[in-house]
Structure 1
């Protein structure tokens, strides 16, 4: 049997686990729902006495009193913010802990405060500016929980209870960095992902394949994953199913990720699907030009990578085979191919990325080898949100906007995005600007939904959209789906863009 220690997230107390805990107990498991100091447990007179270390101590106290029966393992479950005190406690009692469960939570790192996991970038900034101060973050009103995670599947009565029992979150719990020694690094781990919140095992596997450094540790044999078809509060929406998943996790069940083949490069660094001319680049700052063998000012296509992408990742996006492949292909067709590195390293960085694109366009249009009156912008993946600025106010020199497997509305799992970057809201102002969208048939559902939202808005306002469908292709197909269908899609997309530049 197992001793489950259930640690709640922000604003919530131990009562949030009531139904799930009851089902685990009914099967003979020992269950402790932790009441964190100030958010369900004892509440000191001053909130400034409560910090992350206080909550770690709360969890340690339960660990020290739990699981005394011979052979009974302790499983620590951290939901949302709760994973921070869970990891802090596991680091200090690694010999007592049998497994750690990340329940729709972030991936805390040593030295990083829980503030980094707050989904709203504006709120993160506001709280960061209050570092070193005292106080509390007010609990959400009933209609504001969505700001903190999807409420998909939560019954109205449960949402009422959640709101009624919510308490303010002491600021110091979010601002104090988590300190880890690595003592618990080898403990078995299970991730429980909530699909309606925008996360999935497929997404994590793609991140692993992409080479995301923070995810590589989850490819070990001691790590498993489960999915639940619900939002961010499965203990309220699917309590029985969550109990079953926790029990299976304790037994070591679940899906295991596939580690990248060390002999193969990550998917995004594999060769481009077309043979393209080996045209050298000309680099200026964060911008590269691929110049055609043609005289006179030539039109240009600016290829904008997606993201967020780690600032430490190497090579940087403008050196990825997909971007260099498209740019060389464009140069081989007689136009200037342009790639750039922009600062979309975090969901809050869209304004910075937009600035970088603007700077590249100024540089490119001022170049005497470029026809500054004939420019196309081509966006990829998460860069699709950056289309909004150009849809809202298309300049006369912008002849076409293209996007391949784009994200065209903010994804809940990544957190709130500035309302400026919502292409569906901007497209009614695009006028006659031609749009070319490459849509893949094997897209992740949460991204496919954003494309459909955009296309619906486009039809409603009569926007000039050409859709190039690739039914059997995946997201970022140019280095993984080396098929005639995929090659044809790249050719069709390039022809469409070049036709608009020829006008």
Structure 2
């Protein structure tokens, strides 16, 4: 007999699982929906001392009472934190961990890090502005949307969600999750609610990059399912969720194919660029044209990699063939090419990365071999959010900005990103600053939507945007696609940027 332990997210309790629990029991399963301390009919137990550790102990008590030798333990939203804490201490009792529209917290992470709404985060972190030891439960559809997509929920389901909700103890969101690693090898299943902006195709793209932090998703014991709904599938599609949980318990689901031996970011650049010498100054590498000194100061283009990139990853982005290729080709076309290793290691690091980009530009402009009044900045992938700073108030020396397969708004699954980094909002300040945008025709739908949002905003404010399409290009087409299919677009984009610098 299969046993399920069901742990709900913020503000909710065991009652939210009613239809799913009934469906699982009808299949013959042993089912244990959990009401955590301070929630639901345990509301009177709430107190300022209730935190994540309290809830881990709650889950452990339920798990210890399961009759079956092993259980499938399901964590929805915040619920994945106490689930992982319990699984770390009782790995021998866990058959599979199911992440239901939940993040992948690591040792030392807090649940608050995954809250996308900046105002909510600020209220929790500043008791003077917040609700004291508790976060008030949402009281309307609009407030619920700040905590997750309400796609698929009827008015009746939203009213039920509101009626059952209880204030969330602040300590459950702010106490770090501590993991020993004992549960690291357990089988996992991710149930992705597409209304929240994440799907299997995006996961496959993440794994295909070859970045180490995503390779765990390609383990053979990791499976995935999609549900075409929002953040509360136990209310919006309980029958479908029940079927998915039963299938997960049977070790079914979509498996991601492991990446090739050579990660995509280490594959050759699509253009044949002869190797050039470079100068390394702090975080910045400079590629100089052959006659840079003799011809006087030359314009420069700074290439800004995407991310987040793990801090321990080697080689770092400025040594990846793609950025060595872009900067070297810029030098071959007569301008100074430059790359920068910025500190976008996590989604909270955009302000740090922006500082590094600003320092790199300042270093370029201070170099006597660089024309300080003719600078371009070129952004890639997740670095696209950094474009907002350039657009908001472009200085006179910034002659052009460019972006290749950019992410131009935080993806719904990314959690909190500083409000400052919203290119679609910043483009209204761009004036006549030209932008060269190279767009992947086969881009992931979630990323493509951010590009379309940006282009709509740019058109409304009359911004000057040149779009270069790569119809058969995927995200990171300059490393993963057939060079014959994308080479012309990359060359066009390069020559367009250089022409604007030299014109």
Range class of TM-score, shorter chain: over 0.9
Q: 1:370 to 1:122 in 2, by over 3 A?
A: farther
Task: Give the corresponding residue for 1:215.
Answer: 214
CA-to-aligned-CA distance 1:274-326 (integer Å, 9 cap, x gap): 11121122111111111111221111111111122222222222222211110
- Checking the alignment, whether the CA contact within 8 Å between 2:114 and 2:414 is kept in structure 1 is no
Runs of 5+ consecutive residues of structure 1 not aligned to the other structure:
none
Task: Give the corresponding residue for 2:166.
Answer: 167
Is residue 224 of structure 1 aligned with residue 202 of structure 2?
no
Task: Give the corresponding residue for 2:34.
Answer: 34
Greater alpha carbon shift after TM alignment, 454-463 vs 335-344: 454-463
- Name which of 87, 90, 104 aligns with 1:90: 87
- Checking the alignment, whether the CA contact within 8 Å between 1:473 and 1:486 is kept in structure 2 is yes
Distance (Å, rounded) in 2 between the aligned partners of 1:385 and 1:493 = 19
Distance (Å, rounded) in 2 between the aligned partners of 1:187 and 1:208 = 19
CA-to-aligned-CA distance 1:245-264 (integer Å, 9 cap, x gap): 11110111001122233xx2
- Checking the alignment, whether the CA contact within 8 Å between 1:74 and 1:99 is kept in structure 2 is yes
User: 1:114-153 alignment to 2 at 5 Å?
Assistant: 114-120=111-117, 123-124=120-121, 127=124, 135-142=133-140, 143-153=142-152
Shift of 1:125: 6.4
Is residue 11 of structure 1 aligned with residue 11 of structure 2?
yes
Is residue 105 of structure 1 aligned with residue 120 of structure 2?
no
- Checking the alignment, whether the CA contact within 8 Å between 2:441 and 2:472 is kept in structure 1 is yes
Greater alpha carbon shift after TM alignment, 308-317 vs 438-447: 308-317
- Checking the alignment, whether the CA contact within 8 Å between 2:38 and 2:45 is kept in structure 1 is no
Greater alpha carbon shift after TM alignment, 366-375 vs 45-54: 45-54
Q: 1:338 to 1:124 in 2, by over 3 A?
A: same
- Name which of 276, 281, 294 aligns with 2:278: 281
SS at match of 2:349: helix
Shift of 1:179: 3.1
SS at match of 1:63: helix
Task: Give the corresponding residue for 2:239.
Answer: 240
Q: 1:416 to 1:57 in 2, by over 3 A?
A: closer
Distance (Å, rounded) in 1 between the aligned partners of 2:471 and 2:479 = 16
Distance (Å, rounded) in 2 between the aligned partners of 1:219 and 1:409 = 27
Is residue 51 of structure 1 aligned with residue 51 of structure 2?
yes
Is residue 270 of structure 1 aligned with residue 260 of structure 2?
no
Greater alpha carbon shift after TM alignment, 29-38 vs 146-155: 146-155
Compute the RMSD of aligned alpha carbons: 2.2
Shift of 1:35: 0.5
Task: Give the corresponding residue for 1:437.
Answer: 437
Shift of 1:128: 5.6
Q: 1:423 to 1:176 in 2, by over 3 A?
A: closer
Shift of 1:44: 4.9
CA-to-aligned-CA distance 1:151-192 (integer Å, 9 cap, x gap): 222222212221222112212223333333333333322111
Shift of 1:267: 0.9
- Checking the alignment, whether the CA contact within 8 Å between 2:38 and 2:46 is kept in structure 1 is no
Shift of 1:209: 3.1
Greater alpha carbon shift after TM alignment, 44-53 vs 383-392: 44-53
TM-score (norm 1): 0.93
Task: Give the corresponding residue for 1:182.
Answer: 181
- Checking the alignment, whether the CA contact within 8 Å between 1:67 and 1:74 is kept in structure 2 is no
Distance (Å, rounded) in 2 between the aligned partners of 1:128 and 1:286 = 33
Shift of 1:62: 1.9
Distance (Å, rounded) in 2 between the aligned partners of 1:209 and 1:429 = 36
Task: Give the corresponding residue for 2:290.
Answer: 293
Runs of 5+ consecutive residues of structure 2 not aligned to the other structure:
none
- Checking the alignment, whether the CA contact within 8 Å between 1:115 and 1:128 is kept in structure 2 is no
Q: 1:187 to 1:395 in 2, by over 3 A?
A: closer
Q: 1:38 to 1:150 in 2, by over 3 A?
A: same
Task: Give the corresponding residue for 2:314.
Answer: 314
- How many pairs does the alignment contain? 496
